[in-house]
Amino acid sequence: MSENRNPSLQPNFTGRQSPWLYLAAEKPRLTNVTGTLKRILEYLLGWRSSLLFALVCAVVSTGITIVGTRLNGYTVDTFIARKDARMLGIVCLLMAGMYVVGVASSYVQSILTIRAAQRTSAALRRDLFRRVAHLPPAYFDAHSSGDVMSRLTNDVDNINTAISQTTVQLFTGIVSVAGMLAAMLFLSPPLTLVCLITTPLTFFTTRIIARNVQRFFVEQQRELGKLNGYIEEMVSGQKILRLFSRETRVVEDFERINRRYVGDAFRAQAVSGIIGPCNNMVNNIAYLLVAVAGGFCVIRNIGGVTVGVVFSFLLYMRNFTNPINNILAMANSLQLALASAERVFETMDGQPECDADGASDIERIEGDIRFENVRFSYVPGKPVLRGADIVAEPGQTVAIVGPTGAGKTTIISLLTRFYDTDGGRIRIDGMPIEAITRRSLRRSVSLVLQDTFLFSDTIRENIRYGRIDAGDEEVVEAAQQAHAHEFILQLPHGYDTVLTDNGQNLSQGQRQLLNIARSLLSRASVLILDEATSSVDTRTEQIIQSALLTLMKGKTSFVIAHRLSTIKNADKIVVIDGGRVVEQGTHESLLEKKGFYFRLYESQFKTGMPNGVPGG
């Protein structure tokens, strides 16, 4: 089967990506039921050959039911009335054979539709994951990881469950309702009219309830996303919450969020649960009316209606109303699936990172980087950078210091194009940064953060993540340069030791050395260090410092709030305050100016922070 491609899922690449653009997605709503259903149907039709064969099976099964039902009535009027046991036996054997064929057809239809539903949910999950993999950091700033995981798992599973159940019911129902209606009209138009009187009441009742229950299911899925996000956060931070003895408070917060979710889920299920009893009541009224009308016709000998006709008609009527009731009874799962589908498509419609028209790949950045009057704000009207000018020449080490919130990390986010500027320009080797594809730009930039991230894989593959085509010898060489080789060999399986839970079986310093080895392997020409040694002890810091010096050789390096030894040796120190570059120069020249940097130095270095940095 060819890959299912849905052109309606392609978003418009307009507007700068901001976390506030995605926060609107948290409002509970079901705004476009028709559009959501259409998009699900487009996925489902990717398996149209299976669905078509399933439809043929449904026609066969329904045809057998129609013929068998009419034979029941004919047998009552003819063979039972005449007490013809021989013919009665022949008809029973014939009907038994027909029903075996009908059961086989229904089974094949069920298998085909369930397979189509499973493949549809797999395609949904695949496309959703692909979109999540290409969404900008702004999306994840606005959504917790638990909420994103909930969309990939719970929401897609809800859609899968609804499709698996309703597709079978829908195929059987449409064919059965049409076939039984035709059979009832052929058998007795007056009784068919009596039956149809109550049908609009069923749809009217269901529509009113379903319209009101939609918002409850949307709220239920929203609260489920919050619950998953809270659980993920508490499991990740379980050491911190124990350290500060917050277990009781965390349990109380969880119970509060859980109660909100249970309340929304109860309201959704309780309201949708009214549909089934209401439909049963309407159907019972319809059966009663047909029985009374049929009995009257038999007694008065009107229209050739016999006991067998009434018997067959009631069976037809049951097969006519049951598919409708089955579909309507699943309104709760349908509403839940619609709410889930809207959350899934909402994420799919998120604006992915995209390159400008004409952007080109670059093999390697030489390292000439210039910020020219760069302006940026995460929230409109609240600027973070107010015309920053920074120049880094190839091979230079530029330290960026300043107080918390001054805009230091934002500069790095702009340099890696996690965000785009509001104004001004960033040039790399003379080219506007927008003229370079993100992929090739990031391939030339290596980032070493305070918080390392290691995958649940072997140490070898974690290092190889820096350059996926690197050989084992290159991996070992990078580890040696990063001073990680010795401790790796001391592990039970050396380079084949499997890390779990972000490498929690290693120390913070060891994780950082692996991160540095990964960066060394990448051979990037631009290096960014963001608080790379701030959370390790002095001895480990010295080891990491040595590895960083190896890593920085020949590279244009940006160092944010690093330790004093690196700041002092930087070719240039850029001081940021309030989103503006207030000073630039070497450590000695800035101290001589006795300006902002000097005051930071005096306040933070001479007050018991000998190895800190100005501005932290």
Q: Which residue type does 513 have?
A: L
Strand partners, 577: 580
Q: Say yes or no: domain 359-408+437-444+555-616 is CATH 3.40.50.300.
A: yes
pLDDT digits (tens, 9 = 90+) for 470-529: 899 999 988 888 888 888 999 888 999 888 777 777 888 888 888 888 888 888 888 888
Nearest to 278 by CA among 336, 214, 331: 331
Cα separation, 205 vs 328, whole angstroms: 10
pLDDT digits (tens, 9 = 90+) for 531-557: 766 656 666 667 777 777 777 788 888
8 Å CB contact between 51 and 168: no
Domains of the chain, by residue range, sit at 7-15+32-348, 359-408+437-444+555-616
pLDDT digits (tens, 9 = 90+) for 25-43: 444 445 577 888 888 888 8
8 Å CB contact between 392 and 369: yes
Residue 110's contacts (CB-CB under 8 Å, 6 or more residues apart) are 168
H-helix or E-strand containing 436? none
| Confidence tier at 427 by pLDDT (50, 70, 90) | very high
Rg (CA), the chain: 35
| Confidence tier at 22 by pLDDT (50, 70, 90) | very low
pLDDT digits (tens, 9 = 90+) for 335-367: 778 888 888 898 888 888 888 888 888 888 888
Residue 547's contacts (CB-CB under 8 Å, 6 or more residues apart) are 481, 482, 483, 484, 513, 516, 517
CATH code for the structural domain at 7-15+32-348:
1.20.1560.10
Helices marked H in 199-246 = 199-236, 238-243
8 Å CB contact between 419 and 353: no
pLDDT score at 237: 67
Tokens of 158: 């809800």
Could you tell me how many residues make up the chain? 616
438-464 mean pLDDT: 84
- Report the first-to-last Cα separation within the chain, whole angstroms: 56
pLDDT digits (tens, 9 = 90+) for 260-271: 888 888 877 777
pLDDT score at 535: 58
- What DSSP state is assigned to residue 79? I
Is the pLDDT reported for residue 292 higher than 70? yes
Q: Name the pairing type of β-strands 556-560 and 397-401.
A: parallel
Cα separation, 43 vs 394, whole angstroms: 50
Q: What are phi and psi of 134, to 5 degrees?
A: -115, 5
Comparing 206-215, 224-233, 492-501, 516-525, the range with the smallest average pLDDT is: 206-215
